[in-house]
Structure 1
Amino acid sequence: MTVRILTLVGSLRSGSHNRRLAEAAVQISPDHVEVGVFEGLDTVPFYNEDIDTEGAVPAPAVKLREAAAEADALLLISPEYNGTIPAVLKNAIDWLSRPYGAGALSGKHVAVVGTAFGQYGGVWAQDEARKAVKIAGGVPAEDLTLSIPGSVVRFAELHPVDDPEVTEKLSGVIEGLASRAKAAV
């Protein structure tokens, strides 16, 4: 059985270190795990219950919900903006939380990792993301973590996939998430 993990990246910048971390996750995933990165979070409008009605849901939000529904688990990769989760990632969680009690996140295992410029590697944002996921009905993997500090220096000339410490820890997160998703089936 192949486990499908959908990755949502909280940074929209094409060359972001968190986007590169997502690329690394795709490249190092084992044969029994398919890691895919969702493209198009920048096109998903801010959540608004007025447009979240049958026949009116914007196509980008439908695409996000369908991708999450088809996945066995989710991997959120988040930078830290002003000490918290980026709006684009929070917005994705909001769309995936609805309809209330039956959203695409309901019962799905979710791991949150990331890198940030600061000395703690974005742990505040990751904690906020886990909290939002739990309230939205997902199952946050509290023990599957990876916070990489000093991203601007660490990844100035090195892609995360070429950093043995990062790939070892990221592999552990992917394997752990896949194992939980498989057990939940």
Structure 2
Amino acid sequence: MKRYQFIGLCGSLRKHSAHEQILNTIAEELLPSDSSLTLYRLHNLPPYNEDHDGPSVPDAVLELRQAVLAASGIVIGCPEYNHGMSGVLKNALDWLSRPHGKSVLTAKPVLTFTASPAFTGGVRAQQQLNETLWAVSAELTRYPQIVIGSVHSKLSNGRLVDESTRNYLRLGVKALSEMM
């Protein structure tokens, strides 16, 4: 049986962020039995600078690119900051999209979700995130957008506990797995 290894990218650097809690819930409770998900932290990525790409690319960027390249697919949790995706996630996607024409994101299966304390669930960030992923030729999972409103009421003890949201995410992960 083939085993699928997914990488999780969290667009929040906050300790105990809702997105990290949801990614951990996916990793430990919602994946198919033939899959695993490893959370990759974006804390050490420097701001994108084309002058530092190529032969002098920072080690943290090389490690991230290698992790994405080796992964079967990516699950991205994106917060909404000021009606858009977080700068830390956009920065990571900028590093991953380079060098031009050789992006490790090209044709890489990706499932995205946004979550917010607001009832809108980060829908504006979801749109920006999807536009960026389309621009770099990532393969978006064919599944309705996953936007989780009132997220704090759906978390408890570091886990996503809202059953309808868990089921919706489980089906999204299944759709991602079926792309392999």
TM range (shorter): over 0.9
2:141 and 2:123 map into 1 onto residues whose CA distance is 14
Query: Aligned-pair distance for 1:152?
Result: 3.0
2:33 matched to which residue of 1? 31
Whether the aligned pair in 1 keeps the contact of 2:105 and 2:138 (CA below 8 Å) is: yes
How many percent of aligned residue pairs carry the same amino acid? 27
Matched, 1:15 2:16: yes
Equivalent in the alignment of 1:2:
3
Give the 5 Å matches for 1:35-114.
Answer: 35-39=37-41, 41-54=42-55, 56-114=56-114
State the Cα deviation string for residues 129-184 of structure 1 (Å, max 9, x = none).
Answer: 111011112122252432111123333x464433211221111111110111x1xx
Write out per-residue CA displacement over residues 52-86 of structure 1, whole angstroms, 9 at most, x where no aligned residue. 021x1101101110100001111110110001000
Q: Secondary structure at the match of 1:53?
A: coil
Counterparts of 1:140 and 1:154 in 2: how far apart (Å)?
A: 25
Unaligned runs of 5+ in 2: none
Look up the equivalent residue of 1:51 and give its one-letter code: H
When normalised by structure 1's length, the TM-score is 0.90
Q: Secondary structure at the match of 1:176?
A: helix
In 1, the alpha carbon distance for the partners of 2:130 and 2:9 equals: 13
Whether the aligned pair in 2 keeps the contact of 1:111 and 1:144 (CA below 8 Å) is no
2:123 aligned partner:
123
Root-mean-square deviation (CA, aligned residues, Å) is 1.4
**Aligned partners of 1:144 and 1:61: how far apart in 2?**
31
The number of aligned residues is 178
